[in-house]
Amino acid sequence: MATILITGGSGLIGNALTKLFVERKFDVIILSRNNNKEINGAKTALWDIEKQKIDEDAIRQADYIIHLAGANVGDKRWTKKRKKEIVDSRTKSSALIVKALKEIPNKVKVVVSASATGWYEETPLSNQTDIRRTETEPANKDFLGETCRLWEESIDPITGMNIRLVKLRTGIVLSNEGGAFPEFKKPLRFGIAAVLGNGKQIIPWIHIDDLCRIYLEAITNESLHGVYNAVAPRPVDNKTFVTSLAKKIKGKFFIPFYVPSFMLKIILGEMSIEVLKSVNVSAEKIKSTGFQFLYPTIDAAFEQLILNHD
């Protein structure tokens, strides 16, 4: 049985991946800062990123590594301290994986690392449907662009170690279990469809099940190398996203409300850039590998998520 080590496997994506890999009869080890004993049928191993210490047995046992660990980007305001934590938690954890793979005898064949569509520069609103960001474009110069660049660079030494490396620039993950989707639904409890800013900004999104299937593909399909955008092929603008969701949940009984950009800036601070930014990201490269999305449209994704919510 193959063993898969998932860093940050206790989080939103890690939980879903653990369930999928356990179902597929992989042995899963979650690498965590806390001793959680057993999560979803996976064992937990410990690491201390600051002290650059890692459970050596976990590295020896692993056939594959999925690297998800990192301080949550949307949880807290981006103070100077939080920004440092967001970057360090990713780059120092990557450095520890690289060091461990150099120093500890192992049989790791593939490392798949998370990255984010925050890599990309905004798409101009005038021709946003024509321009789609592809994997060859340079990183944006803002905070998330820089974070993604440093994050991806920190895991790149893996390629010199005869280990296949795949990096997944992930869009906003839609899941009932956490992240952005439950936040989008909250105002609908009061019958309000909260459109952010002018609502024209394009959202690069992906259904959690498709994302997990891309991770599985990255592990099992040896032809995958380097960077892939992990986004659904049909992105939508914020207004379409919010009103389609409102129609699915409330039928005709909702009122669209435009939350002005200045209010978002007051509430979220610098993080407001991310909810107001328009990025149209291409899914062509992952599609060209033969990967087929279960939820290519926002309607299909909402249908599944709403149907499967208790």
Which is closer to ligand NAP, CB of 26 or CB of 119? 119
Which is closer to ligand NAP, CB of 10 or CB of 106? 10
10, 229, 278, 280: residue in contact with ligand NAP (rule CB under 6 A): 10
Which is closer to ligand NAP, CB of 254 or CB of 291? 291
Query: Is residue 271 involved in binding ligand NAP (CB under 6 A)?
Result: no
112, 172, 232, 301: residue in contact with ligand NAP (rule CB under 6 A): 172
Q: Do residues 158 and 111 lie in contact, with contact meaning Cβ atoms separated by under 8 Å?
A: yes
Angle between helices 143-155 and 80-103 (to 10 degrees): 10
Query: Is residue 69 involved in binding ligand NAP (CB under 6 A)?
Result: yes
3, 93, 106, 154: residue in contact with ligand NAP (rule CB under 6 A): 93
Shortest CB 21 distance to ligand NAP, Å: 14
Query: Is residue 270 involved in binding ligand NAP (CB under 6 A)?
Result: no
Element (H, E) at 68: none
Neighbour count for residue 126 (Cβ, 10 Å): 7
Q: How many CA atoms lie within 13 A of 228 on its CB side?
A: 25
Question: Closest-CB residue for ligand NAP?
Answer: 11
Residues 192-214 as b/e (b if ≥16 CB within 10 A, e otherwise) read bbbbbbebebbbbbbbbbbbbbb
Shortest CB 95 distance to ligand NAP, Å: 12
d(CA 208, CA 176): 9
* Contact stretch for ligand NAP (CB under 6 A) within 63-71, 127-135, 267-275, 280-288: 63-71
> What is the DSSP pairing of strand 42-48 with strand 27-32?
parallel
Which is closer to ligand NAP, CB of 113 or CB of 254? 113
Which is closer to ligand NAP, CB of 151 or CB of 291? 151
Which is closer to ligand NAP, CB of 219 or CB of 254? 219
What are the helix (H) ranges across the chain?
12-23, 56-61, 80-103, 143-155, 180-185, 208-220, 238-250, 261-268, 272-276, 284-287, 298-307
Shortest CB 249 distance to ligand NAP, Å: 20
Contacts of 125 (CB under 8 A, 6+ apart): 200, 201, 278
Shortest CB 281 distance to ligand NAP, Å: 11
Token readout for 184 is 């989008």
Query: Is residue 145 involved in binding ligand NAP (CB under 6 A)?
Result: no
Which is closer to ligand NAP, CB of 72 or CB of 134? 72
* Contact stretch for ligand NAP (CB under 6 A) within 62-70, 134-142, 217-225, 235-243: 62-70
Local structure of 6: helix, strand or coil: strand
Local structure of 274: helix, strand or coil: helix
Q: Give bridge partners of residue 236 from the DSSP assignment.
A: 203
Nearest to 256 by CA among 266, 245, 264: 245
Between residue 12 and residue 51, which ones bind ligand NAP under the rule CB under 6 A? Answer: 12-14, 32-34, 49
Which is closer to ligand NAP, CB of 89 or CB of 238? 89
Q: Which residues bind ligand NAP (CB under 6 A)?
A: 8, 10-14, 32-34, 49, 68-73, 85, 89, 93, 114, 116, 170, 172-173, 179-180
